[in-house]
């Protein structure tokens, strides 16, 4: 399978630490790709390398099956985590300047800007200085200048920070619309809720290493622990009396007359076996498999990686 954007074995070293160790990612076309990882993991380094702001020490990058080259910046839109605009410059002038830097002709940029300013209903901001705008307003401008040159690859670093929920929704819709129109999106965030909602694929980077990559659905499925939650009533007492000992009863409680329980089944046991055991005794209201959230997976893998590195360090010493 060919990918729209690939990074192969990227290594980046700084004087005192290594930011990326042989990291590879593959981003399919029209995919929203989540780049996850704790602070300081190396995400920003990778994003800067993709944007050709810095170069890797080792490794190769491919953009639409070509080796990444300087002219590709015109097809990449980048919304950095640290937003910024010239404070003393007028909004319109500035948007025009940034669009031209991305290789859009002045007339073309004018036309596109007019469209977006109308769409966001901010035409009257054109002659205002950036410093006169509120932070949220500045974010909108920043979003517009990121996509004004209609890039085929978009890189959003924490795009939702600083937006209120209404604007977050608008932004999400716009991002999904961009993908529909053919754009491929790399999306870095700590907000796991939005990852589950938006991302098709993810890569998890921790401590300069990539420790997890794949389709969001696949990853969540592999992290399933065969755990189920059920709600029932017409039964008092503990479910443990009717299930075998190797079925782990994680949690059991009663709330407003409804009993709830969480049970982890041993590997190879299907949920149907559990159901046959309990259905004769209770009235079942709901029965769900617990699919781990990205949040849980994130914390679990990062912690596991941390313990590994601690043990390996201990072993070494």
Sequence-separated (6 or more) residues with CB below 8 Å from residue 231 = 258, 259, 260, 284, 285, 286, 287
Q: Does 86 bind another protein (CB under 8 A)?
A: yes
Tell me how many residues contact another protein (CB under 8 A).
29
Total residue length of the chain: 317
What's the min distance (Å) between Cβ of 263 and another protein? 49
Which one, 85 or 302, has the nearer CB to another protein? 85
What's the min distance (Å) between Cβ of 11 and another protein? 11
Which one, 98 or 239, has the nearer CB to another protein? 98
Phi-psi group of 30: left, alpha or beta (phi > 0 → left; psi -120 to 50 → alpha; rest → beta):
left
Q: Does 84 bind another protein (CB under 8 A)?
A: yes
Binding window for another protein (CB under 8 A); candidates: 68-76, 184-192, 202-210, 305-313 = 68-76
Q: Does 303 bind another protein (CB under 8 A)?
A: no
What is the C-alpha separation between 198 and 153, in angstroms, rounded?
Answer: 16
Binding window for another protein (CB under 8 A); candidates: 29-37, 78-86, 245-253, 278-286 = 78-86
Tokens of 41: 């993991």
Pair 60, 230: CB distance under 8 Å:
no
If one counts every other C-beta atom within 10 angstroms of the C-beta of residue 182, the result is 11
What's the min distance (Å) between Cβ of 12 and another protein? 9
Q: Does 52 bind another protein (CB under 8 A)?
A: yes
Q: Does 89 bind another protein (CB under 8 A)?
A: yes
Strands 58-63 and 5-13 turn out to be antiparallel
Handedness of CA 193, 199, 205, 210 (dihedral sign): positive
Q: For another protein, which residue of 72, 83, 140, 179 counts as binding (CB under 8 A)? A: 83
Closest C-alpha among 163, 287, 284, 300 to residue 223: 300
Pair 116, 148: CB distance under 8 Å:
yes
Q: Does 48 bind another protein (CB under 8 A)?
A: yes
User: One symbol per residue from 148 to 187: x for binding another protein (CB under 8 A), - otherwise; what is it?
Assistant: ----------------------------------------
Q: Does 212 bind another protein (CB under 8 A)?
A: no
Q: For another protein, which residue of 55, 136, 193, 266 counts as binding (CB under 8 A)? A: 55
Tokens of 30: 């029209």
């Amino acid at each position: 399978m060919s990918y729209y954007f690939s990074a192969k074995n990227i290594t980046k070293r700084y004087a005192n630490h290594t930011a990326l160790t042989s990291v590879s990612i593959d981003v399919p076309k029209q995919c929203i790709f989540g780049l996850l990882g704790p602070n300081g993991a190396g995400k920003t380094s990778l994003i800067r390398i993709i944007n050709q702001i810095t170069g890797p020490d080792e490794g190769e990058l491919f953009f639409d099956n070509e080796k990444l080259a300087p002219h590709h910046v015109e097809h990449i839109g980048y919304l950095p985590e640290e937003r910024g605009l010239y404070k003393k410059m007028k909004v319109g002038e500035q948007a025009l300047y940034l669009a031209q830097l991305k290789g859009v002709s002045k007339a073309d940029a004018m036309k596109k800007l007019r469209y977006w300013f109308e769409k966001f209903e901010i035409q009257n901001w054109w002659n205002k200085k950036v410093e006169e705008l509120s932070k949220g307003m500045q974010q909108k401008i920043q979003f517009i200048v990121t996509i004004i040159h209609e890039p085929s690859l978009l890189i959003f670093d924490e795009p939702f920070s600083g937006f209120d929920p209404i604007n977050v929704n608008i932004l999400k819709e716009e991002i999904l619309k961009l993908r529909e129109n053919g754009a491929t999106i790399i999306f870095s965030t700590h907000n796991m809720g939005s990852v589950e909602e938006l991302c098709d694929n993810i890569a998890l980077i921790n401590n300069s290493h990539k420790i997890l990559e794949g389709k969001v659905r696949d990853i969540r499925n592999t992290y399933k622990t065969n755990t189920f939650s059920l709600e029932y009533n017409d039964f008092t007492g503990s479910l443990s009396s009717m299930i075998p000992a190797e079925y782990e009863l994680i949690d059991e409680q009663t709330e407003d007359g409804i009993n709830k329980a969480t049970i982890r089944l041993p590997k190879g046991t299907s949920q149907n076996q559990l159901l046959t055991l309990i259905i004769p005794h209770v009235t079942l209201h709901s029965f769900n498999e617990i699919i781990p959230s990205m949040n849980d997976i994130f914390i679990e893998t990062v912690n596991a990686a941390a313990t590994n590195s601690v043990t390996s360090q201990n072993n070494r010493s």
